[in-house]
Structure 1
Amino acid sequence: MNSEKDFIAKSLTATIENGSSEWSAPSNIALVKYWGKKQHQIPANPSISFTLRDCKTITKLNFAKRENDGNFSFDLLFEGKPKEDFKPKIQKFLERIEAYCPYLKEYHFTIDTENTFPHSSGIASSASGMAALSMNIMSLEKALNPSMSEDYFYRKASFLARLGSGSACRSVKGSVVVWGNHAGIEGSSDLFGVEFTSEIHRNFSNYQDTILLVDKGEKQVSSTVGHDLMHNHPFAEQRFGQAHQNLSAIKSILGNGDLEAFIKIVESEALTLHAMMMTSMPYFILMKPNTLEIINAIWKFRNDTKIPVCFTLDAGANVHVLYPENVRESVLQFIKGELLGYCQNGQYICDRIGTGAINI
């Protein structure tokens, strides 16, 4: 499956009048970041992420057959209540995927969605939200095409999720997921995320991610705008090359369990992502003063204690604190004692590596 054409729905032999499905899909945190994209949500460089377990979106989809009038028909509920301001994003998503899911206009959909993390917490819900919706759409397609293989089901779900939000394709299946063509990762693709199948060292099993909510306000520059600014960026080509090198390196590290080398790449990737923002035209800064306070405190704590804790950042001010499970108590003590003062209202979320979307 190396072409978009492979994902056009065929063999829809069954007839379904109505029904429902429900899926949860998690957020994910990239270790090697993607920043910059080509047309149709194709990444300018490959990325690799840890799938989270508890920060997730739960979406229920009810569908009922209707007369195809040439329009999409759907109601959107967030936590059980109508949410009109989310509708344009869903409309755009359905328009993008219609070529691959031609049955969509034959149904009226009720999409009921909720997040396990606080809305506007500064945690990107687009990845988990688009992944959860894509899983439900594929449940309908699977009902229309009962002979569909499980492999195709998950690949197409990831493919569809990508068209809603690039990083959503990494929230479908697997604990560690690669998205983007990379010579060293067999089966990797720009079209969908693939499960990292090489053996992962026990140092990384049940890896912890404590998310420090530094700023819950809306970002002054959206990720979409930020990605677009890579088109004429003076350092773009060097950055894309660096991401390929770092992905090769982290592939080895995940196998050999070298936590020191892991920390260097993960923190360097986080700072490089923000360096790209600061050196684009127009330039912008998404980190806040408290982001830097936390980073410096983590460096001092790691230096003083030799505990292998590190940070990474998304395209925002919040800090993901990553560490092995066997140092959890010491790190949480440090976070509660020294870092919560830098969080908005002292808010933080404890999470860990998960496995992907779950059918409820």
Structure 2
Amino acid sequence: MSTDTSVRSVTCQASPNIALIKYWGKRNEELILPDNDSLSITLDLTDMHSYTTVSTSPSMACDTFYFEGVLQTKLSSRMQKVLGEVRRRAKDMQNQFVEIRSQNTFPASSGLASSASAYASLAIALTKLFNLDNPDATAAYLARIGSGSAIRSVYGGFVRWSSEGECLSSCLFPMEHWPDLRLIILIFNPSKKPVSSTDAMQRTRETSTLFSARLATVNDKIEKLIEAIRIKDFNTFAKIVMMDSSQFHAVCMDTYPPVIYLNEQSKHLIDLVHAYNKTDENGAMKVAYTFDAGPNPFCFIREEHTEEFLRLLKYIYPTVDNNVHKHVANSDAKLPSINVPIAPNVLERIVLTKIGSGPKIIS
């Protein structure tokens, strides 16, 4: 970074969001206008976040981007689009360039919503640095044209992204609304996904016969899910979230050529969750899963069941790396009615987290 004393900079942290009802398909590729509404939970900054610093100075000769400390050879077209929109709106950026430095505390491009947190933190930092008008709506717009789902990471709590009007996002319930809800993220494969979400969405719109059927069901599911969240009905919450995840991946499979994000470990976890839920003598749901565009599951669970499920994960997914199961010491958690094969050394990391309050300006 330049040592020029005229440098101005802003640093912002933003966390990924996990879609409960998925966004899949764009009716306008340029502006990233979604085909359907989506609903998500923003994660806690402490456990997973992108950290982005944007700086500007009259002495800078061009825009530059560093990711994880490495200078990138060029800016992506989306990043250029975001900067172009900032220049259009800013009063003092017409002839100024920026330096962007970004890093994540979790793997990128592996279905963990790294682009959402990255572009949300970038959008908020740029809005603050150049003192843009209507900062909340402006940051949301900038985040969306960078990466669609990033528009949900500009807020904390439970967030809805509308497909109508200006296609902006809003917080439906703050993080404090459901304080005992936890998330357990299992990272089986941190590798870059084989097909980007952008390419896969376009392919789906062009070829999937199930796509229109999915769009016809989304709004009804969202309204039912919002009511379940409002009254903290975990049984209904869990069923809707898991069914939407399955429907989303069915549409991906119905795409031609098929887009396959789930792997054998993903399917194994699905079997484990359903087997574990059957152990409740009252038939109540204990845990729910969802998968974004990747093989790594996001599990929602209430605090009362968290320790038991973590012990079960340690039993089912043993590993030589003791740090993987650092959240639990006891592995004696096999339940007699669970008949799921043990899968050793397939789990690389567990992230135990909760609902977050949203992005934060650091400096």
Q: Same fold (TM over 0.5)?
A: yes
Three-state SS of the structure 1 residue aligned to 2:19 is: strand
- Could you say which residue in structure 2 is the equivalent of 1:322? 300
| 1:90 positional shift | 2.5
Equivalent-residue separation in structure 2 for 1:342 and 1:89 (angstroms): 40
Q: Which of residues 7, 10, 15 in structure 2 aligns to 1:21?
A: 10
Q: Which of residues 177, 192, 196 in structure 1 aligns to 2:168?
A: 192
Matched, 1:287 2:262: yes
Equivalent-residue separation in structure 2 for 1:174 and 1:243 (angstroms): 22
Q: Which of residues 314, 334, 346 in structure 2 aligns to 1:336?
A: 314
| 1:343 positional shift | 6.7
Mapping of 1:100-119 within 5 angstroms? Answer: 100-101=89-90, 103-119=92-108
Asked if the contact 1:49–1:176 (Cα under 8 Å) also holds between the matched residues in 2, the reply is: yes
Three-state SS of the structure 1 residue aligned to 2:204 is: coil
- Could you say which residue in structure 1 is the equivalent of 2:113? 124
Mapping of 1:71-86 within 5 angstroms? Answer: 73-84=62-73
- Could you say which residue in structure 1 is the equivalent of 2:3? none
Three-state SS of the structure 1 residue aligned to 2:252 is: helix
| 1:352 positional shift | 1.2
Equivalent-residue separation in structure 1 for 2:232 and 2:142 (angstroms): 33
| 1:110 positional shift | 1.5
Aligned length: 326
* CA distance 1:352–1:296, shift in 2 (3 Å): same
Equivalent-residue separation in structure 2 for 1:243 and 1:101 (angstroms): 37
Matched, 1:153 2:135: yes
CA-based RMSD: 2.6
Asked if the contact 1:127–1:166 (Cα under 8 Å) also holds between the matched residues in 2, the reply is: yes
| 1:18 positional shift | 3.9
Q: Which of residues 180, 194, 207 in structure 1 aligns to 2:181?
A: 207
Q: Which runs of 5+ in 2 are unaligned?
A: 1-5, 319-342
Mapping of 1:295-306 within 5 angstroms? Answer: 295-305=270-280, 306=284
Asked if the contact 1:171–1:356 (Cα under 8 Å) also holds between the matched residues in 2, the reply is: yes
- Give the TM-score, by structure 1 length: 0.83
* CA distance 1:101–1:241, shift in 2 (3 Å): farther
Three-state SS of the structure 2 residue aligned to 1:350 is: strand
* CA distance 1:85–1:121, shift in 2 (3 Å): farther
Matched, 1:64 2:46: no
* CA distance 1:101–1:277, shift in 2 (3 Å): farther
- Could you say which residue in structure 1 is the equivalent of 2:215? 240
Three-state SS of the structure 2 residue aligned to 1:157 is: helix
Equivalent-residue separation in structure 2 for 1:245 and 1:91 (angstroms): 37
Equivalent-residue separation in structure 2 for 1:91 and 1:208 (angstroms): 37
Matched, 1:44 2:35: yes
- Could you say which residue in structure 2 is the equivalent of 1:358? 360
Equivalent-residue separation in structure 2 for 1:329 and 1:132 (angstroms): 32
| 1:277 positional shift | 0.5
* CA distance 1:206–1:86, shift in 2 (3 Å): farther
Moved more, 108-117 or 341-350: 341-350
Equivalent-residue separation in structure 2 for 1:282 and 1:190 (angstroms): 33
* CA distance 1:137–1:23, shift in 2 (3 Å): same
More helix per residue: 1
Asked if the contact 1:212–1:343 (Cα under 8 Å) also holds between the matched residues in 2, the reply is: no
- Return the letter of the residue paired with 1:127: A
- Could you say which residue in structure 2 is the equivalent of 1:219? 193
Equivalent-residue separation in structure 2 for 1:161 and 1:343 (angstroms): 37
Equivalent-residue separation in structure 2 for 1:110 and 1:200 (angstroms): 33
Matched, 1:231 2:205: yes
Equivalent-residue separation in structure 1 for 2:361 and 2:344 (angstroms): 37
- Could you say which residue in structure 1 is the equivalent of 2:229? 254
Asked if the contact 1:73–1:105 (Cα under 8 Å) also holds between the matched residues in 2, the reply is: no
Moved more, 335-344 or 278-287: 335-344
